[in-house]
Amino acid sequence: MARRPELEEATPWKLADHPRLGKGKVVGVVVLDGWGEAPPDPFNCIRVADTPTMDALKKGAPERWRLIKAHGTAVGLPTDDDMGNSEVGHNALGAGQIYAQGAKLVDLALASGKIYEGEGFKYIQQSFETGTLHLIGLLSDGGVHSRIDQLQLLLKGASEHGAKRIRVHILTDGRDVLDGSSVAFVETLESDLAKLREKGVDARVASGGGRMYVTMDRYENDWQVVKRGWDAQVLGEAPHKFQSALEAVKTLREDPKANDQYLPPFVVVDETGKPVGPIMDGDAVVTFNFRADRMVMLAKALEYETFDKFDRVRFPKIRYAGMLQYDGELKLPSHYLVAPPEIERTSGEYLAHNGIRTYACSETVKFGHVTFFWNGNRSGYFNPNLEKYEEIPSDIGIPFNEQPKMKAVEVADKAKDAILSGKYDQVRVNIPNGDMVGHTGDLEATIIGCKAADEAVKIILDAIEQVGGIFVVTADHGNAEDMVKRDKSGKPVRDKDGNVQPLTSHTLNPVPIAIGGPGLASGARFRKDLTDAGLANVAAIIMNLHGFEAPDHYEPTLIEVSTAQYLSASSADRTYQ
């Protein structure tokens, strides 16, 4: 990742000692994924679940428990109507600073027109004269992975900058937006493409499929998902063929078990049955999702000449760019339309420079969050002599609602072992259940998942107790605390048969943060003045608990130490000595 030399020189890596919080205590950092705070409700799976550990943190020491924001401007997104997600959440948690993120970066580039002046667009533009521009991504207004209005602007801008033939390869959502909304999104897109055709641009939808079954896998969990997309997008092959995307989505949704997330792959064909838009030599390809995690695998397939994850059959010579660069360390993709935020001087890097030994762990589906995203979109170690990252393989091919306990206990056991080993100053984990099971919309399974997450927290906190350490328990965004679609009055939305419609997306709710443990100074508590604090304030807290002051350019800490209690404790220490 690029560094600004002037910042390197102006800001030393050495952190000042905290005047009232000492060093030498093991700090356990637990991130509960998808664990927001909301009033009790039959659809609040966290409140319904048996979660005695988390309940005790809230009720037992109210001065050491509070809520923080995990969405919108608090994590760098454009507005407070934008749901947070695990990637921007962990960026903020680890960076201690608020950076313009994902959608906001793209919005700025599109609004200013700078997207068309950059190296990435000029690179793909070289294919416009004789080739086709292919746009691949999630067709949705969910704002977590992509937004349809950005696709609309890109279609308009690309056509105005020379694209003569455009093919869109859509992935239906149903996860960040209501299931069934795919039809309306396709209707909108088809209308836009028809207007482009009226202007002489050959623009059509070429293929599609549901996001969880086609293309959008992550962390190399199931390459067959990417292969299904590859076969449709590149080879023009799929089990279902239609003469329009609208016909495809409407027909495939007639299956009683159909779900936008899992629609099978399809290709659009002409009247002779020939695919209208397979990716060919000389074409340009843009993956228009702004969120990285579910584009990395496709990016590897499109860019890497040496590739063995599945038989690509044909590897077209294309000009490929991502909407953003999805992995800064791997430089993947090598071309991108919008430059990533330069997340510099993260807490992990500061602490490594100050001798803090760190262990980070999660299972596959969230391993990248406590490592890559926490460290500012950076792969690898800051100091391999001080850090160890361990990944617990997630279940493959088993829906999360069928195995809702996931690997929570296994991750917690690894954390316990790391804490008790005496080898580490910080032990950091992500417990994924609230998010991953919550996304299935299965209330019963999510309740089980939340209970398992709570049990994992207890294992870790018990280990912290045993070594006299300190803990921080927080979350990255909401999900499991509100599992039903609601109308404007807050009442559950029901279908024609009276069944509630499950909410599978993240939420706008705040998340809890709790501190404690026998190693925490007796007078340490949360401040009450920073009511709008968010995830970016957490890094300063963690630095404080390691005995350091946070850098001046970080979001302020939420910890204060009561003068009376601090003086009393100091006096008692001197008397004992």
Tell me the C-alpha distance between 421 and 378, whole Å. Answer: 27
* Reduced 3-state DSSP string for 540-556: HHHHHHCCECCCCCCCC
The β-bridge relationship of strands 358-363 and 426-431 is: parallel
Q: What is the DSSP string of 186-197?
A: HHHHHHHHHHHH
Is 86 catalytic? The answer is yes
The β-bridge relationship of strands 470-475 and 511-516 is: antiparallel
Token representation of residue 143: 């704002």
Among 86, 140, 362, 394, which one carries the catalytic annotation? 86
**Quick check: 239 and 264 in contact, CB under 8 A?**
yes
Tell me the C-alpha distance between 128 and 110, whole Å. Answer: 19
Using only C-alpha atoms, what is the Rg of the chain?
25
Strands (E), 288-363: 319-324, 336-338, 358-363
Tell me the C-alpha distance between 485 and 437, whole Å. Answer: 16
Distances in whole angstroms, Cα of residue 213 to Cα of each of 143, 208, 229, 246, 312: 20, 11, 9, 19, 18
Of residues 560, 97, 98, the one with CA closest to residue 349: 97
**Quick check: 374 and 348 in contact, CB under 8 A?**
yes
Token representation of residue 577: 């000595």
Which residues lie closer than 8 Å to 467 by C-beta, 6 or more apart?
A: 26, 419, 420, 422
Tell me the C-alpha distance between 46 and 479, whole Å. Answer: 10
Which residues lie closer than 8 Å to 354 by C-beta, 6 or more apart?
A: 13, 14, 15, 546, 548
Of residues 539, 550, 219, 535, the one with CA closest to residue 379: 219
Catalytic residues: 86
